[in-house]
Amino acid sequence: AWTWEHMALTRARVICGDAALTQRIQSCIAGVLTSERDAARVARDVRDMRERVYREKGSTDIWNLKAVRGGLTDVEFIVQYLLLVHAHDRPEILSGNTLAALRALQANAILPAGASETLIEAAALYGRILQVLRVSTDGAFDPLAAPRGLSAMLAAIADEPSFGRLAPRLEKLQGEVDLLLRELVPEPVFRD
């Protein structure tokens, strides 16, 4: 299977079925995810997939939290890369939930403290904002046209004293996540 299929499998979870079937499916998923992999190849494939996704659906709008560089997709790609590369040694890191996986990667010293804190903050903040925007807007979010109540709610869920402080925080966080993607999912080195 291709790396992107395994990336998607890191998010898989059984949601119904009898106990025997559930166990067989979970064992199959774990077997695939705990296979040893070539880290350089996985890194190359993840970076390639990220660039493809960005070319097709990317955005420079900081409020497009999934598609912007340093957004939720980048957080998820970092997590998926680390799970695929390290799960053969540490299967306990596997989780279909991004935040739980980040905490497991931190607890198992796969992610350095600063990186894990940034990624956990980003995943949690992006998730909270996306939940509010999905139920309160139709289409792209325009901060200049946002009702005061929505702006106040977004500031509150981000623990910011004002809505005006949220955009700079998002820009900073997105820049940090983008850098972490470059650091944690290394560029392939080609030998002559």
Q: Which two tokens stand for residue 163?
A: 């809505």
Residue 112 reports pLDDT greater than 80 = yes
Q: For 101, what's the count of Cα atoms within 13 Å in the CB-facing half-sphere?
A: 23
Average pLDDT, the chain: 94
Rg of the chain taking only CA atoms, in angstroms: 18
Residue ranges of domains in the chain? 3-184
Q: What is the pTM of this model?
A: 0.93
**Residue 192 pLDDT exceeds 90:** no
Task: Give mean pLDDT, residues 130-158.
Answer: 96
Classify 3-184 by CATH class. mainly alpha
pLDDT interval class at 16 (50, 70, 90): confident
Cα–Cα distance between 170 and 154 in angstroms, integer? 12
Q: According to the model, what pLDDT value does residue 191 have?
A: 47
Distance CA 79, CA 90 (A): 14
Q: What is the pLDDT of residues 18-37, one digit of tens each?
A: 999 999 999 999 999 999 99
pLDDT digits (tens, 9 = 90+) for 74-98: 999 999 999 999 999 999 999 999 9
Per-residue tokens: 152: 């106040």
